[in-house]
Structure 1
């Protein structure tokens, strides 16, 4: 099978002291949606109807070549349920933003993807991983929340035919943060790996509950009150009894609180009532027993609240409190020193004004 590609470029600054001229920094990007057994048909299709974003990008003429093998590894956790474990790491040029878990589910009629990774490059690899096992249409991309490591790979999956679905607060949250996310992630990942990545809005939203039928395979979507973020959405694959929790569940990777501590604790309790026997967390795993898999996060959030209340009772300032809140959890989580101070700040600010 042949796929369409294009070299997208940006000017890299030269050596001002040595007088070196600026040079182009380019990456060959995959353009889903033009696959064909005939390379001439592929090339004619992409030339006749290129993706609109190409007209706004410093790109060369598209071309077609044989479909490459994917670099992302997915495991089949149940019949037709494939899961990729993202790195337990900060986004950087080596991982290109591949630091969160991604899933896809194959029904008799079509395929749904849950989360898309932290760059267009990762989204392209998700597409290739799907095509390595199935040629069924990719009908849906479900985004579990707003954070950049879950959403920057969305555009190539939309180009492949997916309708993007998110929680009702997601469009506004992404619109408000698109510029800062693109700046911060571009800096972390580096311009080469991040080329072609941008935030795009979901096509429709879920306010409470919704079902998606992929053909004899129903996915149950549920929107949640503010918890990890104000945009959290979960998916239950009813065929396998697997809950895909997004970042409402962390394992190994230190949790990140960007919403409400009390809300997250309440939602975690409610999640425990969902009829599922396994769960895919947003980080770690990639698949755990449920509800047992919630225990480390539940413990951490409980410690965060207890320590914050003790700091407030002791009259500590915010700077003094962040040094002690959650400290006893340090040995249980990777990246703890990076995320716990942020969590302590959010918890202190929330509980201070009860």
Structure 2
């Protein structure tokens, strides 16, 4: 398989360049790929602020992300449980896609366009059907910053009704922080894209022979959480409403998150795809560590507030009993304790 790429650089005088995938030109031969390029010239102008080093060309397809088929037609890539850095290239979140008879729906896209390109190649290795929708489960950059490759291919960008404002407010900070973490060269071509299909409440997304049920939740992990239930298989993409191994990250409401988890565990699901960790968890037993952590966080925070502890002292003890159950605990638990303390001190 061959694909079209263009070499983009930060500037003509800069040696920081990357071959950026141009979706939609895939073909079994270089000649066929080149014919597609000749028929429809790619829009390089969309890569604002970057310089093209030569024209688009056709090369053998690059590396695809590894995916597991966790249910018929439902594929998941499990990112590493690490902080984004140059070594892992920002491939730290679980991503997926659903193949129907008429097209493909992508769920989350990774920390960079390069990660999104790897997911695009994984899709193209399995089907040549169009990618019709890219669904973003929440605003965090490790789930949304690979979106451009799919949006550039014509996919509708789907998200919680609050996602457009949240991304607009945080875009510059997200781009700056992720570029610093993974490296400027690896980050080339990465940007957000506008949400074209905002979701309120619960709505069906008809993909022809299968339907995805999209639910926008009240503030919990964040204020933009969206789940995707594949009605055919009974498997739900939970985004970061559910963590596995990776310490949960509270960026919304602790009480809201506990309430959402209670509702999720009541659902009749065959399995769930967490935002980090395993590709698929059994349900509801897969919820037990998350529920326990949130309950411990709330209980210990209330105890610290009741004892009159200052925030700086409280975060040293809140939820410390959970330390051995989670990875990246020291990076995330102090933040969670701070958010929880700030919320619960006003109960």
- The reply on whether 1:43 has 2:34 as its aligned counterpart is no
| Structure 1 residue corresponding to 2:282, chosen from 284, 289, 297 | 289
State how far apart, in whole Å, the 2-side matches of 1:39 and 1:243 are.
Answer: 36
Cα distance, 1:213 vs structure 2: 1.7
Cα distance, 1:294 vs structure 2: 0.6
Matches within 5 A, 1:1-354: 1-11=1-11, 23-36=14-27, 38-45=32-39, 48-54=41-47, 56-354=49-347
Cα distance, 1:34 vs structure 2: 2.8
List structure 1 runs of 4+ shifted beyond 6 angstroms: none
Cα distance, 1:2 vs structure 2: 3.4
State how far apart, in whole Å, the 1-side matches of 2:83 and 2:203 are.
Answer: 33
Q: What is the CA deviation profile of residues 146-183 of structure 1, one whole-angstrom value per residue up to 9, with x for unaligned ones?
A: 00000000000112221110000000000000000011
TM-score, with length taken from structure 1: 0.94
Residues 100 and 210, structure 2, Cα contact 8 Å, conserved in 1? yes
State how far apart, in whole Å, the 1-side matches of 2:154 and 2:2 are.
Answer: 17
Residues 69 and 132, structure 1, Cα contact 8 Å, conserved in 2? no
Cα distance, 1:133 vs structure 2: 0.6
Cα distance, 1:56 vs structure 2: 3.7
- Secondary structure of the residue aligned to 2:259 is helix
Unmatched segments (≥5 aa) in structure 1: 13-21
State how far apart, in whole Å, the 2-side matches of 1:152 and 1:55 are.
Answer: 15
State how far apart, in whole Å, the 2-side matches of 1:71 and 1:136 are.
Answer: 17
Bigger mean CA offset, 217-226 vs 157-166: 157-166
Cα distance, 1:331 vs structure 2: 0.2
State how far apart, in whole Å, the 2-side matches of 1:269 and 1:205 are.
Answer: 25
Cα distance, 1:69 vs structure 2: 4.6
Q: 1:218/1:132 Cα in 2 relative to 1: closer, same or farther (>3 Å)? A: same
Residues 42 and 64, structure 1, Cα contact 8 Å, conserved in 2? no
Task: Give the RMSD, CA atoms, in angstroms.
Answer: 1.5
State how far apart, in whole Å, the 2-side matches of 1:234 and 1:62 are.
Answer: 40
Aligned length: 344
Residues 249 and 297, structure 1, Cα contact 8 Å, conserved in 2? yes
Q: What is the CA deviation profile of residues 1-26 of structure 1, one whole-angstrom value per residue up to 9, with x for unaligned ones?
A: 432211111259xxxxxxxxx64211
Q: 1:340/1:298 Cα in 2 relative to 1: closer, same or farther (>3 Å)? A: same
State how far apart, in whole Å, the 2-side matches of 1:167 and 1:31 are.
Answer: 27
State how far apart, in whole Å, the 2-side matches of 1:84 and 1:53 are.
Answer: 28
Cα distance, 1:49 vs structure 2: 4.1
Bigger mean CA offset, 212-221 vs 62-71: 62-71
- Secondary structure of the residue aligned to 1:112 is strand
State how far apart, in whole Å, the 1-side matches of 2:64 and 2:121 are.
Answer: 8
Residues 70 and 132, structure 1, Cα contact 8 Å, conserved in 2? no
Unmatched segments (≥5 aa) in structure 2: none
